[in-house]
Structure formats: C-alpha cells, structure tokens
Amino acid sequence: MRRPPLAQFCLGAVALVSAVCALGLGTPYVPPADLPATFGADGITGLVVTELRFPRMLLALIAGACLGAAGLVLQEALRNPLAVPEMLGVSSGAALGVAAPLVLTLAVPLVLQPFLALAGAAIGGLLTLVAAGLGRSPSAVLLTGAAVAAALQAALLVLMVMADQLDLQLIYRYLLGSLSARSWDDVTGLLPWLAVAVPALVLCVPVLGVLRLGDDDARALGVRVERARVAALGIAVVLIAPVVAVCGPVAWVGFLAPHLARRLRPDAGAAGWLLRSAACGAIVVLCADQPARLALAPVETPVGAWTALVGVPAGVLLLKRGRGPARERGQDVPAVPGPPAGLPAPVLRKAER
C-alpha cells in the first residue's frame, strides 16, 4: 500500500523550513531572501552563517541520517521494533569510551576520539551478543542489551562522581547530546567514516531482507544468521560511534526514524526503508536542533533532550498504530480448525480446563 505523496511532501517542506530557520534565526537574524548573499560574505553575518550555522546544520543532517540508518539496521537484524542503539549498549559504550579519558586526565588527540567511541561501542555491542548467546532469540538479545546498557550507564555515573566541577559540566552536556560550538572540522571528520559505512550498508540490505523471514528460513536460504547479526551490529557501530564522538549520544533518533519510514511506505522493504529512515533521522535532528538553539536563548539546551522528549512518545504512538490486524497488512489469517460438521465439540476433561 502506497502512502499518498502528501506525507512525503510535508516532510520535505518541514526539512526546508527547518534549514531556513537553522541558517537565519538567531543573533544576528538573517531574512530568508538574504541568505544566499551571506555565504562567503565579509562581516559578522557572513562569518556566523558560513562558519557556525551552516556546518552545524550539515552536522545535524549527517548525524540524524547515521542514527536513523543504524536504528533500522538493528531493528531489521533483530526483527524487533524496539531494538535501538540505546537498548543494546552501543551508544552507552561509545559515550563511555569518549568520557573516560577526559575524567582520567589522559591526553588524547581529537582525531583519536572517534576510534575510542568505536572501541567502546563495539565492546558494548559484543558484550550484549556474547551475554545473550549468538544463537538465542532476538528478544533475548534485546533484554540482555538493556542490562548491558544499564551497566555501562552506571560506569558513566561513577566517572561523573570522580570528575571535577568543570569536567562534570562538560560530561553532562556531552551525555545529553549537543551540536553547540561545532565547526567544519567536525563535519569533515565524519566523511571518512561515511565512506566506509555507506558501501557496507549497500551490501547489508539484501541480508536484512532475508533475516526478516525468520532464522529458520534465513538458514534454509544459506544465510549464516549469527554472523549476519554480528555484521549488522558492526555496521551500526561504524555509523553510531563517530556521531557519538562528535555530538554525544543523541537519544532515540534510531527508534523514531525507522517507524516514520515504515509509515511512509509500509511495503518498501529493507532497501526503501533504509533510505527513508536516514532521511527521517536527518529531519528529526535538524528540527530538534532549532528549539535547542532558540527556546532558552542565549542559553542553548542539548539537542538530545529534545529528541528524547519528542521521539519516545511519537515512536510509541507510531508503533502502536502500526500493529494492526494481519489482514490490514495484506497477510492471510489462518483459520483455526474446528470439529468436523455434524460432530459435537470435544469436551475438556477436568485436568485440561
């Protein structure tokens, strides 16, 4: 069933309006008609738009796209709509890898921070898979991931207790996810990771489509389910870790974006959902960054607080509305066999009641 193009048109309009607000609103205010002339122009207005607002907008789009794509990969690989980076120890592990050197006063170059986040995210994800058992059901992996994520968050709380006042403020803002004071260096630092993740996503899409059939059917078609899940986790880690290193764990984008993508085109399959999930994630983060910048101006609030505030109830609503009867999704509902015609219904014995 195709969604009418009105929904996609509305998403595009929301993205355009958010982009104009991201570039024009604030101090100094730039009218939409004057925005093209400000790029590369001399003066404070051109500097603010070109060097501060524009890279921040691009970073919001890239971060949201990565988180949305990673959320869909995890949900499809585990066949569970609640499988999100926050529930599998991936985001918490990446945040722990970045925050630990700061508290322990270890001199780490900025160029190495994505690798620390990558190592932390990989450790968190592998702990989840090993603790749950690679052959266990996706639900067991999800429940174990919640426990691993809680343990990693407890470790982050211990680090916050050990930190001094200045480091505590930095860690607190970082853990909520923030796009404040980001520059072109942060944007260009994500490009090499995208060059690795995008081809891997293209290769992963057919396997995700097979995993949706179930473990037994996937094995019958020649897919090694355990290795496929580990590979999907690795791709999600490569997408999430650099974003967490730069922006912090922007919460619940990986939960909301895939559900929006499925509502836009329920019959698109893994390939269509992946593109739409990346686009929805980019729009969600870009929209959330506007109240983060302007709601309490001149004080900025973390963008992760806004994505969690809006993303969780919206995602739950979409998830609830998406669980219709099987016949509404175009599936045949098997009839429950009853007693043959002319024969009385079987009588249950007392022990069977």
For residues 40 and 46, is the Cβ–Cβ distance under 8 A?
A: yes
Note the pLDDT tens digit of each residue in 300-340.
899 998 998 888 788 778 777 765 533 344 333 334 344 44
Task: Provide the pLDDT for residue 230.
Answer: 87
For residues 68 and 258, is the Cβ–Cβ distance under 8 A?
A: yes
**Residues written for the chain:** 353
Rounded-to-integer distance, Cα 172 and Cα 351, Å: 59
Q: Is 222 helix (H, G, I), strand (E, B) or coil?
A: coil
For residues 43 and 49, is the Cβ–Cβ distance under 8 A?
A: no
Q: Is the peptide bond before 28 cis (omega within 30 degrees of 0)?
A: yes
Task: Provide the pLDDT for residue 103.
Answer: 84
Note the pLDDT tens digit of each residue in 1-40.
455 577 788 888 999 999 999 999 998 999 999 999 888 7
Structure confidence at residue 268 as a pLDDT band (50, 70, 90): confident
Q: What is the mean pLDDT of residues 55-74?
A: 95
Buried b (16+ CB within 10 A) or exposed e, 125-137: bbbbbebbeeeee
Single pTM value for the model: 0.85
The answer on pLDDT for 341 being more than 70 is no
Name residue, tokens 């929209």: 287
Rounded-to-integer distance, Cα 21 and Cα 6, Å: 22
